[in-house]
Structure formats: structure tokens, C-alpha cells
Structure 1
Amino acid sequence: MAVVVGAYVALGANLGDAQGTVRAAMDQVARLPQTQLVAASSLYRTAPVDSSGPDYINAVVAVDTGLTATELLQAMQQIELQAGRERPYRNAPRTLDLDLLMYGELVQEDAALTLPHPRMFQRAFVLVPLHEIAPERVTAEQLEAVADQGIVRIDEAR
């Protein structure tokens, strides 16, 4: 039997029907093999950070998965591709962006994957929804550090 690991995935989109795309991606992540959705945050609206285009719709989900971190990342990239994700340049507006934030307590840094996600603690659009579903993972100091970044909850958690 596979080892089950708790993982957190950030979801964001700012092109097309961003709310619908993020909701559909939450469902797709929940349906991955050997994976069960544990919690899903509310949807949040944020201005682009290091990016351009319309406001983003963001959320975070918690899953328990038997997939390895690399397998989970590859499955997430397939979901992005199915949503029409293109990568014309760094931080381009996107139909869907999925980031693996944490995979258990794994610390990893290589060409394919860095865990925990290297910029997650600099971004309100990650920390606020993560705090909603896993308050023990985000400190008050971390939230205070991003308090100047505009973020608005637009839809209740599911």
C-alpha cells in the first residue's frame, strides 16, 4: 500500500472564466489517482503580482495523496495543459496555474521542483487561502508581512 502524504496546492487563473476554471481544477485535483480532497479554500480575487492582465482568482486545496511529489506535479501540469495553459514568458497571464506548495514535510530543491514553494511566504494570494484551511501552517507574522497586498474573498469555501 502506498504511503499517503498531505499536500497543499495553490490554484490561480486570470484569463477567460477564471472562477469556473479554478473550480474545475479543484475538482480535477480531487479526482487524481490515489488522491483525496481534504479541504478547499474560498475563492479570492487579487491584483497580479509580478504579472499583468486582469485580476487573478486564487484558492488553495489540501489533499491526501499516494502519488509522489513528482507524480503529483506532473498530474498538475497535465491539468494546466488541459485548461490551455501556455508559458510564453515568465509570469505571463494564464488560464490556469497550479503550484505545489508543500508535500508533507519534504524539503527538496532541484531543477524540477522546490519544496516548500520558494515564494509562497511572500504572497497573500497563497497565505490567506492556506491560512483559511490550515491555520497551523501560516503564522500571524507571515500574514502581517503580506498584509499590504490586496486580497478579497469572493466565494465561500466548498
Structure 2
Amino acid sequence: MSAIVTLYALAISSNQNREHWTRYAMQQLEHLGECRFSRIYQIPCRQGKGADYYNFAALLDTSLDFNQLNNILKQLEQQAGRIRPSHHIALDMDIVAYGAALNALQPVASRLPLPFDAVKPLSELWPNCPPAESTMFYQIVQ
């Protein structure tokens, strides 16, 4: 019997040592399953109190269930030195949707409405991504 594979849409960001933690996140996710990544966007902090973020999205196919993956993402944040609450964030990794396939992704209700800094990179990978309520200035980094 084969394992059930779930597709997860992830929103990932960093505003401390951004290049390092962005690479780290990508490398760690690649160990969990098949990944596709968006381009990386530099977007200002929503509250204007912290440094600009690198924001990107990932689609991850994995046999991990929602709770297993969420726990791993929170462990990766802790390993990066994440402190809550703070505007200085080495790594923030959130599951924003999941399903059996790209056309069947369902948003995580507690994440709605999705902010622009999540929607902009997610929309590259997920054509049916819910729209953001507002827009912000951004630059494409990679």
C-alpha cells in the first residue's frame, strides 16, 4: 500500500540574514518531498516596524500529514531563532493551503484573508490563490 501524498502551499519569509535563511528553508523543504518554489520577493514589513522581508512560496508534495508538517515547520523556525512576538524574524513558514492536487487546494481558514506578501509569490505557483485585500511595493530578488 502506498502512502497518501498531499500537496501543501507554503508561505515563507525572513527579514534577518535573509539570504541564509531563505536557502536554509529551501534545502530543508527539499528533504521533505518534491518542491517547487516561486521567485523571491523583497517586500516591506506590513507594520513598517521591521526590515524588509524576503518572501517566497513553495508547493510541497509529501506523505506527511498536516500536523506533522506544521510541527516540522515550527521546529525549523525555532532552529532559526524565531522569537514570538517580534518584527525581527529569521524564518516564518506557514501552511496556507493543502489538498490532493493543485486544482483541489483548500485554504487554511485561519490564514484567511491572505496578506499580499503571501499572495504575490503564491500566485506564481497556484493560479487559484485567493486574492489579497491590498497591494504593497515589492521587488523581485530572484
Relative to structure 2, which stretch is displaced further, 20-29 or 67-76? Answer: 20-29
Moved over 6 A (4+): none
Distance 1:106 1:153 in 2: 25
TM-score, normalization by structure 2: 0.85
Return 5+ residue gaps in structure 1 as ranges.
Answer: 108-113
Q: Which residue of the partner structure matches residue 150 of structure 1?
A: 137
Distance 1:124 1:44 in 2: 11
Cα deviation 1:1-49 (Å, max 9, x = unaligned): 221011011110111x2122112201101212xx221x10111001101
Deviation at residue 151 of structure 1 after TM alignment? 1.7
Which amino acid in 2 is paired with 1:99? Answer: D
Distance 2:51 2:105 in 1: 34
Change in 2 beyond 3 A, CA 1:130/1:106: closer
Cα deviation 1:104-157 (Å, max 9, x = unaligned): 1586xxxxxx92452453x2211111111222x236xx25x433x1122111xx
**C-alpha contact (below 8 Å) 2:7/2:98 kept by paired residues:** yes
Q: Which residue of the partner structure matches residue 27 of structure 1?
A: 27
Return 5+ residue gaps in structure 2 as ranges.
Answer: none
Which amino acid in 2 is paired with 1:146? Answer: S
Which amino acid in 2 is paired with 1:101? Answer: V
User: Of 66, 69, 73, which aligns to 1:72?
Assistant: 69
Change in 2 beyond 3 A, CA 1:115/1:42: same
